Amino acid sequence: MRLFAFAPLSLVAALAVAAPAHAQTAAEAQAFVDAAEKRLFDESIDASRIEWVNATYITDDTDALVAESSAALTELRVQYALEAAKFEKAPGLSPELKRKLDKLRGGITLPAPTRDGAATELANLSTGLQSIYGKGRGTLNGKPINGSDIEAAMGTNRNPAELKEMWTSWHDNVGAPMRADYAKLIALTNEGAKELGYADAGAMWRSNYDMPPAEFAKLTDALWGEVKPLYDALHCFTRDKLNEKYGDQVQAETGPIRADLLGNMWAQEWGNIYDIVAPAGAGDLGYDITDLLVAKQYDPIKMVKGGEGFFSSLGFAPLPESFWQRSMFTKPADREVQCHASAWDIDNKDDLRIKMCIKVNGDDFVTIHHELGHNYYQRAYNQQDYLHLDGANDGFHEAIGDMVALSITPEYLVQIGLLQQSQVPSADKDIGLLLRQAMDKVAFLPFGLLIDKYRWGIFSGQIKPADYQSAWDALRLQYQGIEPPAERDESKFDAGAKYHIPASVPYTRYFLARLLQFQFYKAACDAAGWKGPLHRCSFYGDKEVGAKLNAMLEMGASKPWPDALEAFTSNREMSGKAMVEYFAPLKTWLDQQNRGKQCGW
């Protein structure tokens, strides 16, 4: 997800960063950081503009522009990172100055080596991989279908042969061509990370969480352990329902689930097949958000206005007029674009935008709330210093909009006029409501964890280029309990068919966000004085919650993330306990449904 760009910048021919040759002092470190922040602030504005044009108008020319400017900024940031490392042991550094130096040293997603030409090569590889994805096509009944449309079709099609065709063609056409260049990108990135003093680029990515990289890896494993029983129960139930619908020849009664049957190209969220798993009585919600949006004649703009309305109800100022003038809400008919939804802050102040190819459906209504969460976060911290223009950690940034989306309850839909009071499901429908949520929120958890486990393994050398496909399949089986619908060999690169791999977007943030959003949601509901079941809570319209939320958002990255977490939740530890509490009634019900079944894989 593109939040704001540290990539491209106005082109720089020579990059010289002054640094003292003698023993460094805290005063010199401060002067260095001040100069770096000013330069990066200025350059990032051109950077964002160039990236925006490329993302919304993909041509060979815009690819070349973004690659060239990205290379220049990467070289600059690598130079700053190298200089920041020299101040690491300077005496008298304040905690804030030390954190800023660490951010300069470790905050580059793709650090280029300093040797001549390396930054340009890395930028060209990165841009080329994203371009392959952006122009990607699969097939349906032998006819080409673009990325946005094939995603939608995967959610509604119930023909196993056609699902297999779409899944296989997308992964073959988009992922496989990237394989060789991806290996080159990994090698260059690792070379750059080692120059900066990290064991590898994976360790560098894990260093951005106010704790040693190894401790952070252990934390993610511990968090997964808290919620894994919930996922295992959902997997067992879902597999049984798929077996009932398709039969043993398509989906076996035991073992892993066939990946293309889960309503999503990557099997990362399963909500699109809720109609298959919804049990009689308990599963009928009585409404469908997509149907409600269509009935009320919502178009993409009205959907975004709806998302804005939630934040306005909490006391946040309306989005600027430029947001409506400059955002990309729908897919243009005349050019290639990156349809993957993202939120942008072009000028580090108030030039906020989203980029989406919105379709009038429930999924995109939720995604809009998510993306706007980024925009309101960006605006809340826009008075911070440049290096603090970020979330407390990247999981925070992803969690804010999702916390709001959890408030898309039936009661909220009544408040905004989408649902009639008479259509609000009674308490006996709660299992259905929770199951529908779990098909997205819980199903995502292992996928959110394994994307970076895969890349960490590649960066560390544990996964060799010759094993890219088999390692991917093994992790998908281990964590998700799924298998591909067709034979895969080492000519493939299925990981590349997921946007965040060619775009080199660290993914653990999404795993953390799935847990943090429930922590934030529970804290908001507690602050609102909610007394009912947690999953029925909506804090829409509660300005006290909005003020408390804004106080955390305004902190940006100026304090370690436990401080920000404590400011809103009164707790300093990330945890899966709030999610477990939210879904506790469903877990009890799933265990009853799974009794006597051979769960696991």
Q: Is 509 annotated as a binding residue?
A: yes
Catalytic residue among 37, 83, 191, 371: 371
DSSP state of 284: -
Active site residue 371: yes
**DSSP code per residue over 86-100:** HTTT-TT--HHHHHH
Give the whole-angstrom CA distance, residue 600 versus residue 55.
41
Q: What is the pLDDT of residue 177?
A: 97
Give the whole-angstrom CA distance, residue 202 versus residue 6.
18
Give the whole-angstrom CA distance, residue 568 versus residue 547.
10
Query: Tokens in use for 366?
Result: 């939720």
Q: What is the pLDDT of residue 18?
A: 44
Give the whole-angstrom CA distance, residue 27 versus residue 565.
31
Give the whole-angstrom CA distance, residue 185 versus residue 472.
18
**101, 307, 376, 411 from 304: Cα distances, Å:** 38, 5, 13, 19
Give the whole-angstrom CA distance, residue 517 versus residue 71.
35
Listed in sequence order, the residues at least 6 apart from 532 whose beta carbon sits closer than 8 Å to its beta carbon are none
Active site residue 369: no
Q: Is 535 annotated as a binding residue?
A: no
pTM, entire model: 0.86
Q: Is 2 annotated as a binding residue?
A: no
Task: Classify each residue of 567-584 as buried b or exposed e, where b means 16 or more C-beta atoms within 10 Å of its C-beta.
Answer: bbbeeeebbbebbbebbe
Catalytic residue among 171, 369, 500, 535: 500
Q: Count other C-beta atoms under 10 Å from residue 168's C-beta.
A: 20
pLDDT along the chain (601 residues), means of 10: 36 38 81 95 93 94 91 87 88 92 89 91 94 94 94 96 98 97 98 93 94 94 97 98 97 98 97 90 76 96 96 97 97 91 94 96 92 96 95 92 88 92 85 92 97 98 98 98 98 97 95 96 94 90 95 95 95 95 96 96 97
CA nearest 390: which of 14, 183, 100, 64? Answer: 100
Angle between helices 362-380 and 300-313 (to 10 degrees): 50
CA nearest 329: which of 306, 366, 350, 354? Answer: 354
**DSSP code per residue over 317-381:** PPPPHHHHHH-B-S--SSS----S-EEEESSSSS-EEEE----SSHHHHHHHHHHHHHHHHHHHT
Q: What is the pLDDT of residue 581?
A: 94
Q: What is the pLDDT of residue 368?
A: 95
Q: Is 209 annotated as a binding residue?
A: yes
Q: Is 22 annotated as a binding residue?
A: no
Give the whole-angstrom CA distance, residue 408 versus residue 553.
21
Sort residue 42 into left (φ over 0), alpha (ψ -120 to 50) or beta. Answer: alpha
Q: 3-state DSSP call for residue 163?
A: helix
Q: What is the pLDDT of residue 283?
A: 62
Q: What is the pLDDT of residue 22?
A: 58
Angle at the Cα of 541 from the Cα atoms of 538 and 545, rounded to 5 degrees: 80
**DSSP code per residue over 545-574:** HHHHHHHHHHHTTSS-HHHHHHHHHS--S-
**29, 191, 557 from 440: Cα distances, Å:** 46, 37, 29
DSSP state of 104: H
